[in-house]
Amino acid sequence: MSETDKPRGISALQVSNDSDVYLRNKRIAEVKYALIAPVITETLNGENHSEYYKRIENHEVVFPDGSVHKFKAETYKYWAFLYRKHGIEGLMPKQRSDFGKTRRLNNEAKLFITDQIVKHPKITGQLIYDRMIEAGIMSEGDVSVDTVQRYIKKNGIREDLNPAKTERRAWEYEHACDGYEADTAYTLYVKDENGKVRRTYLIAIIDDASRLIVGAEFFFNDNAVNFHKVWKLAVKRYGRSKVMILDNGSSYKNAATKSISARLGTKLVYCKPYTPQGKAKILCGTFNYVEV
């Protein structure tokens, strides 16, 4: 390797590490945002901010590593202040200054392990360990691959990861843009540009109060990328909603959707699986028109 190649390789590695750390910290920030979202979006159902903070300070908060914590009302209030001032970046943890110090798995390492499993369910313990070393969270010799694998197995992370709590209620918002609801309908079979007959999917977003379709488009694939296109169109035309009601499908329940909601200041609510009554307005009021 030439002398001119060395700095370039080091720089590329540093950029990769910085990117991994940023993504990990963003996932932690999204957990915090989910807790303060009712305050940010003003969807407290009659409570004022202080009452809400006081009520949830007795709740157990489960972080991605499976660890359980309780926070004082002042902490939640401070998180809301940081979000309003700096956005989602304000909720990200600061970089550690004690890398290389011999220790067992700490909370940061546990959060990283769980975050990797959430994003890559089939990832191996060895690969998680390697990425943790590359990101600078732990140093070689601090812990072993076996330690990582034992932690995953002992805590049942792959099987028992609890998703964000879902909420089930009769949705009825008083004002436009208070709540949007998105869903997908399986629709027509048409020929694509290559002459192949393919099923199409209609992804639509309805405003709960006005029943106005704020965004809708046909696609050949039902996925997160296409949902985000429709969501972007709805926000550009009518503005962001305080709440977005979604089902539990992979097109809607994913890290990218959570990240977008945090940046928009929109609270995500996922309908309970196998309860179509939670989505009756958009299914019955809109999609029946396109069934064939």
Give the pLDDT band of residue 170 (cuts 50, 70, 90).
very low
The pTM of this model reads 0.51
Mean pLDDT of the chain: 78
The residue-averaged pLDDT of 78-92 equals 87
Report all structural domains of the chain as residue ranges with CATH numbers, in order of start. 5-160 (no CATH), 179-290 (3.30.420.10)
* pLDDT one-digit tens code per residue, 231-290: 999 999 999 999 999 988 888 999 899 999 998 999 999 876 545 545 544 544 455 544
Give the pLDDT band of residue 140 (cuts 50, 70, 90).
low
H/E/C letters for each residue in the chain?
CCCCHHHHHHHHHHHHHHHHHHHHHHHHHHHHHHHHHHHHCCCCCCCCHHHHHHHHCCCCEECCCCCEECCCHHHHHHHHHHHHHHHHHHHCCCCCCCCCCCCCCCHHHHHHHHHHHHHCCCCCHHHHHHHHHHCCCCCECCECHHHHHHHHHHCCHHHHCCCCCCCCCCCCCCCCCCEEEEEEEEEEEEECCCCCEEEEEEEEEEECCCCCEEEEEEECCCCHHHHHHHHHHHHHHHCCCCEEEECCCCCCCCHHHHHHHHHHCCEEEECCCCCHHHHHHHHHHCHHHHCC
Residue 8 is predicted with a pLDDT of: 45
Give the pLDDT band of residue 7 (cuts 50, 70, 90).
very low
The residue-averaged pLDDT of 169-194 equals 82
* pLDDT one-digit tens code per residue, 150-165: 888 887 777 755 444 4
